[in-house]
Structure 1
Amino acid sequence: MLAIVVMMTIGVLVAAAVAVYVAYPHRGEEMPVAPQLGSAMRKGVDTLPTLEDSESRQ
């Protein structure tokens, strides 16, 4: 029972992090409550490799 509660809590936290990222840093806006968290999320995403439009069409 404890394992289910822990896994559900982790799932809700991950979903909340994704929602917060999409609502603010992804659109280029500052987070109103914790701007440091938004800049940390933006830095983490900027370090990941991305596929450009020209690369995806080949």
Structure 2
Amino acid sequence: MLAIVLMMSLGVLVAAAVAVYVAYPHRGEEMPVAPQLGDAMRKGVDALPTLEDSESRV
């Protein structure tokens, strides 16, 4: 029972983090309550590799 509660809580936390990222830093806006968190999210995403438009077309 404890494992189910922990996994559901983890899922809710991940979903909330995605929702907060899409609502603010992804659109280029500052987070109203914790701007440092938005900066950290933006830095983390900028560090990930991405495909350029020329690479995705075959």
Structure 2 counterpart of 1:47:
47
Q: What TM-score results when the alignment is normalised by the length of structure 1?
A: 0.98
Structure 1, unmatched stretches of 5+, are: none
> What root-mean-square deviation, in Å, do the aligned CA atoms of Structure 1 and Structure 2 show?
0.4
Structure 2, unmatched stretches of 5+, are: none
1:28 aligns with 2:40: no
Q: What TM-score results when the alignment is normalised by the length of structure 2?
A: 0.98
Aligned identity (percent) is: 90
